[in-house]
Structure 1
Amino acid sequence: MDTYIYEIIAKQLSSISTSEEDAILQEWREASPENEAAYAKSVQIWQDAPRSLSLSGSKRFDTAAAWNKVDQVLQQPATPAKTIRMSVVKLAAAAVLLISLSVGAWWIASRPSLKVQELAANDGKIRSIELADKSVITLRPGARIKYSEGTERVVTLEGEAFFEVATDPRHPFLVKTPNQSVVEVLGTSFTVKTADAHTTVIVSSGKVKLGMENDTSSVILTSGQKGTWGDGQLSAVSNDNPNFMAWKTGILQFNDQSLVEILPQLADFYGKVIRIEDGYQATAAQQKATISFQDQSCDEVLHELQLLLGFNYKQEGDTIVIGK
């Protein structure tokens, strides 16, 4: 059997497996009668293990007794009608299973829980971290993540971050958000943004699944798509915002876009409140520009747009007001 399956069996028999692992094991058992027979044999070996090797017993580990127990199983006379035919490889794996269940599983169950780590970009600067599995997470200023250093790849996110996830088909990467949505991915790059009660995911490459925790409803997003979850609504559309990564790259690009379309993106990028005067709304909707900016201040960008389009702007408290 695949060593990974043995690991799941060990965790399930120790009552420490996850629901995802239980589902994987169930699918494997139902795949063939041989798999189900091998599972039954594994359970039997676990149940027959001597007390000194069980999780409920003492903390002594008698390896010799473990191998003797496996030897007893191998030496039993075979009766074709009743004996499960196992290959030499499976019998050897059963020996590994017995020892790993009695020693390794106790260690997993009894060790102190892995410390939850936290990283925040709360100094106005972008922060990046490489996890143990080589996945890289880049946090937008104001964002915060929590994660553990175990084998389970689960991250809790507040704010916005860019994920470059290392491929590991056996261990899906999960991003959980405050509004109970979950992003599941095997290996890809994407952004996740949480704001109020909404979660927005934009996929740069690969494929991810966006849904609500403990809910079967979900959408599959591929490269170039944007998914949104909030207010009980789940949607997937093509991403029409070329600046969704501007906070990371420092580059803003506008192609024949109106001032009405440009200003909200500037407000998001610079963290400003920008308002168009009511009497200037119709004119702003007609003023269009094709222009790009890189690593420039908000005032510099507005000044260039002012020269190009002919509007005026002023500061009123914390708000930038655009008008004639």
Structure 2
Amino acid sequence: MEITPELLQKYAEGKCSKAEELEVESWLDPKEGFGTLNSKIDVCSHPEIEKALWKKIEKTKNSIPEKQKKILNVKKWTIAASIVILLGTSFFLGFFNNPVTYVTVASELKMVILEDGTKVTLNAASTLTIAKNFNKKERMVLLDGEAFFEVARDSLHPFIVQTKTTKTQVLGTKFNLYAYTGEDNIITLNEGKVQFSGVLPNPNNIVTLLPNEQVIFNKGDILKKKVKPEQYNAWINKKLTFKDKPFLSIIREIERFYNINITVKKEGIQDRKFNGVYDNPPLEVLMNDLSFVFDFSYKKEENKLLIF
């Protein structure tokens, strides 16, 4: 059975036959891996699906007795939520139809100038995908990784940055967005104004940021605070800035910065935090500092490093 936007709409409205329902749920089951839509379908022209799916999520969630919410129908809620996540990623933005994609590898930075004049600086190990209908009704891009955006002002075409878990909408501004898979999404505003929201669990929980403000999105929770933006986009100038950063997040950043694979066998330090600023430091200098603070030893062989 072919999965189409029309079938997903039908599923969201509860009009599927049992066979169709099972087919859709099998296709969307996270354990099985998401399927793919027919590449000939322009799903960008089906915004009504999103509204219907959100109604289904709320209806399903509210129909579960309080004591059974963690047991009954969890799969159905997860599947409905999965559709919405897909709505926020390449499947439902039409990115898969001849997309323009920019990729950086570890230790690489790249400047990209979009057709509207927006400048995007990509940090290491990042991917920026441009929607095929960019600059028609809106300027939509998809980010996995980290990037600094200098958005060209255009009041008629909002600029939207979608990640796997969040959405940022602006008109013209400068901001940094940290959105590596598996880590917190962190947006830091330098100039202008942006609206930021999570895809789940409540897409209507929109936060407005002003200059010198930052929002951290962690599994649905949103934390807003005042910061010095220059500390969070210093990577553009090959600087490493750690502000209350957990050890494991630091290790991931070091891996991307130096293009090295790190294995941590030292226990009890993963969640400890560190503050520091380094200007394009040699790896040995940084590792010596960290080993002193966190009390570990390390050994490097070629592009691999062991912490013990």
TM-score normalized by structure 1? 0.50
Shift of 1:137: 0.9
Mapped partners of 2:300, 2:224: distance in 1: 38
Mapped partners of 2:186, 2:102: distance in 1: 21
Structure 1 window deviating more from structure 2 (129-138 vs 272-281): it is 272-281
Mapped partners of 2:305, 2:249: distance in 1: 15
Identity %: 20
Task: Say whether the 8 Å CA contact 1:247–1:269 is kept in structure 2.
Answer: no
The aligned counterpart of 1:229 is 217
Report matched runs for 1:22-33 at 5 Å: none
- Structure 2: runs of 5+ lacking an equivalent: 1-43, 48-96, 256-260
Mapped partners of 1:268, 1:235: distance in 2: 22
Report matched runs for 1:47-196 at 5 Å: 115-122=98-105, 124-147=107-130, 148=132, 149-151=134-136, 152-179=138-165, 181-194=166-179, 195-196=181-182
Mapped partners of 2:265, 2:226: distance in 1: 28
What is the identity, as a one-letter code, of the residue corresponding to 1:267? Answer: I
Shift of 1:146: 1.4
User: Residue 284 of structure 2: which of 271, 279, 299 is its match?
Assistant: 299
User: Residue 314 of structure 1: which of 273, 294, 298 is its match?
Assistant: 298
Is the aligned partner of 1:270 residue 2:254? yes
Is the aligned partner of 1:247 residue 2:247? no
Task: Say whether the 8 Å CA contact 2:116–2:135 is kept in structure 1.
Answer: no
CA-atom RMSD, angstroms?
Answer: 4.2
Mapped partners of 2:115, 2:194: distance in 1: 21
Query: 1:84-111 deviations in whole A, cap 9, x for unaligned?
Result: xxxxxxxxxxxxxxxxxxxxxxxxxxxx
- Structure 1: runs of 5+ lacking an equivalent: 1-15, 20-113
The aligned counterpart of 2:92 is none
Task: Say whether the 8 Å CA contact 2:232–2:241 is kept in structure 1.
Answer: no
Task: Say whether the 8 Å CA contact 1:242–1:253 is kept in structure 2.
Answer: no
The answer to which structure has the higher helix fraction is 1
Structure 1 window deviating more from structure 2 (244-253 vs 233-242): it is 233-242
Mapped partners of 2:205, 2:46: distance in 1: 20
Mapped partners of 1:174, 1:261: distance in 2: 27
Is the aligned partner of 1:204 residue 2:187? no
Mapped partners of 1:294, 1:159: distance in 2: 21
Shift of 1:136: 0.6
Shift of 1:164: 0.7
Shift of 1:270: 1.6
Shift of 1:159: 1.4
Instruction: Report how many residues are paired.
Output: 203
Task: Say whether the 8 Å CA contact 1:203–1:224 is kept in structure 2.
Answer: yes
Shift of 1:139: 1.2
The higher relative CO (CA closer than 8 Å, separation ≥ 6) is in 2
